[in-house]
Amino acid sequence: MIIKTKSKEEIIDITSKVNSLIKVEKGICNIFVKHTTASLIINENYDPNICKDFLKLLDEIIPQGKWLHDKIDGNGAAHLKSSILGCSVNIPIVESKLFLGKWQALMLVELDGPRERVVVVTIK
């Protein structure tokens, strides 16, 4: 699956896109992003401010422009943030959809966009 991002940093709810790929009643879904400057998280899907707060927190913990890797291509912070957050999640499948809590959603975290991101979905 390809996700086109629009901003340098943003969080995109991809729950419905993944759910549309599920063709089994029960199982496990592994979602993996094939990039070192993007991540996957599970977070609240009701209040969009939580995504803004999350990105603000990451910037406070890992500020831009002070990393050795920045000498190469200026995105050292994006690599560090992605490494801390992780590139994959496993979610149970129940009744042919991701078995998430009421307020949970699967989110792609863009940290060095805008880009086209490849997200691999494996269902067992």
Q: Which residues contact 30 (CB under 8 A, 6 or more apart)?
A: 88, 89, 90, 121, 122, 123, 124
Give the pLDDT of residue 35.
97
71-119 pLDDT, tens digit per residue, is 888 899 999 999 999 999 999 999 999 999 999 999 999 999 999 999 9
* Chain center to CA of 22: 19
Q: Is 82 exposed, middle or buried (CB count within 10 Å of its CB: 0-12, 13-18, 19+)?
A: buried
20-77 pLDDT, tens digit per residue, is 999 999 999 999 999 999 999 999 988 889 999 999 999 999 998 887 786 888 899 9
Do residues 47 and 40 touch, judged by C-beta distance below 8 A? no
The predicted model scores a pTM of 0.94
CB atoms within 10 A of CB 77: 23
**Domains parsed from the chain with CATH numbers:** 2-123 (2.60.120.460)
What is the C-alpha separation between 80 and 85, in angstroms, rounded? 9
Is the bond preceding 63 in cis, omega lying within 30 degrees of 0? no
Amino acid present at 43:
N
